[in-house]
Structure 1
Amino acid sequence: MNNIIDKKELVGIIEQALYSDELAIFAGAGLSIGAGYYSWEELLKKPAKNLNLDISKEKHDLISLAQFYYNKHITNFQLSF
Structure 2
Amino acid sequence: MSLIAFLIIGCVAGWLAGQLTKGSGFGLIGNIAIGVVGSFIGGFTFRLLGLHSGSFIGSIVTATVGAVILLYIVRLAKS
TM over 0.5: no
| Structure with bigger RCO (C-alpha 8 Å, 6+ apart) | 2
Larger radius of gyration: 1
Greater helix share, structure number: 2
Q: How high is the TM-score relative to the length of structure 2? A: 0.31
Provide TM-score, normalisation by structure 1.
0.31
